[in-house]
Chains A and B, each alone.
Chain A
């Protein structure tokens, strides 16, 4: 499923800044539409470290063959300063604003062994653990509330599942029957909920 996963495709389309090493071909930048004029490219070639911005999927493919190819610079929301914010209070952070695929992209980043890889991975887990109980409790007591808009895509899905099962459960408690056909009526049941 992962190959066709829309979320994963969108998450890996995000760009990463990295320091390129010497055998980084200038033409890749031209390919990406970031090419410079000829003069400056000569100039840049002489510079030892150039910073480039390339999409994650390309970086992943290039680094699979040659891990020395470039040094990743963590995006702002995964840097040490931001990790401290997350550590201090994970619940107040607006995940939707810092990147709707925070966890997914974080895991992907960690797989490329950037600097501070271990800290990044730990921070992801800690953040999730810090937030999950809050997400669940919001969902269980939602009572037709809007979904909080500070959730990451993954948390949104968790929230939706939680709201649906809470509704099922209380329905069963009250009527002794699980949700019947009626709940599935037409447009109410959404593709996005069915596929996951």
Chain B
């Protein structure tokens, strides 16, 4: 049915509100085909209409096809937009390296966009602060910190972790540590550590 395929894209996002579902290349291509064919049909109808071969009631058909094109376009754009928003969120939660489980769900353009975004963010951050300093990492201290060190408990097994002052910690499950807040904030957001 008209616009049904494009709606499936939206439903896919709706069903998985917390992850990026695999990029549905097949469905996107079919939507594009649909748009193209509707557009072609409209051109043909318009020619007939101008030539006076068909009555004015065909005008509403023309409108209907055009509305369908607009609708399909809207669904596709919304699909891309929401995926991009989620991807952007990953940058702030997980840092510049995407886990491979997420990477396989992205299309080529999205991976490219992610790298661009990381680069832009890095450029922007390095330009902040006094000249000569190495910039400010905006992704840490999302909430005003109350203390430099935090007590954390390790929820999952993790490799050895080196803090910015060079101390090494072995993060094993259920172990307790006192770590500098800004080093371990990423790990907390990824759910590897938990505040005690």
Contacts and interface: CB of A to CB of B under 8 A. Distances in A.
B68 A58 contact: yes
A65 interface: yes
A33 B2 contact: yes
Contacts of B127: none
Interface stretch (B82-90, B162-170, B172-180): B82-90
Nearest to A60: B67
The SS class assigned to the B binding surface is helix
The SS class assigned to the A binding surface is helix
Contact of B67 (A62, A190, A195): A62
B188 interface: yes
Contacts of A4: 77-78, 81-82
A156 to B, nearest CB: 11
Interface residues of B, number: 43
A69 B189 contact: no
Interface of B: 1-3, 7, 10-11, 13-14, 17-18, 56-58, 60-61, 63-68, 70-71, 74-75, 77-78, 81-82, 85-86, 89, 93, 142-143, 146, 185, 188-191, 194-195
Interface of A: 3-6, 9-10, 13, 23-25, 27-28, 31-33, 55, 57-58, 61-62, 65-66, 69, 177-178, 180-182, 184-188, 190-192, 194-195
A182 B58 contact: no
A53 to B, nearest CB: 11
Given A61-B64, A194-B89, A9 B7 contact: yes
13 contacts: A4-B81, A4-B82, A28-B64, A31-B65, A32-B1, A57-B67, A58-B71, A61-B64, A62-B67, A65-B63, A181-B185, A186-B191, A191-B18
